Amino acid sequence: MYSNKVMDHFNNPRNMGEIEKADGVGTVGNAKCGDIMRIYLVIEDNVIKDVKFKTFGCGAAVATSSIATELIKGKTVDEALNVTNKAVMEALDGLPTAKIHCSLLAEEAIKAAIEDYKNKKGVE
C-alpha cells in the first residue's frame, strides 16, 4: 500500500519539532480526515535556513510533512513556493489515491508559512 519512502519518513520523520521564533508559521487542516499540519520556517537572505513541522494525522500526513521539509530546506522562498503536491508525491514514490490529500496539505502548509513570513516582513 505505502512505498518504502513513505514508511521511512513515517517511522523516521525528518525535521520534526517546533521553532519558537520562526519567521513564518503555516497551519492547515483537512476537516474531512482530521489531519492538521504546521510548518515553521527560519528565513535568512530569502533562503529557508531551517524548517520544522508538527503534524497530527495519519502516517501519510507525517510522511508528506517530513519530505516537504526536506524539499524546501536550503531553497529560496520562490523555489519553495513552487513545490507542488505532485512533487511531494513523487519524492515519496507515490501515495495511495485515498491519501493524496496529505500531499495537498503539505503544499498548502508551505505556502501558508511563506505567506505568514511575508506578512510579518511586509513583503509582497
- Residues forming the active site: 33, 102
- Which helix (H) or strand (E) segment holds residue 26: the answer is strand 24-29
- Residues whose CB falls within 8 Å of the CB of residue 112, separated by 6 or more in sequence, listed in order: 26, 27, 28, 39
Task: Compute the distance between CA of residue 66 and CA of residue 51 in angstroms, rounded to an integer.
Answer: 10
Task: Compute the distance between CA of residue 20 and CA of residue 61 in angstroms, rounded to an integer.
Answer: 22
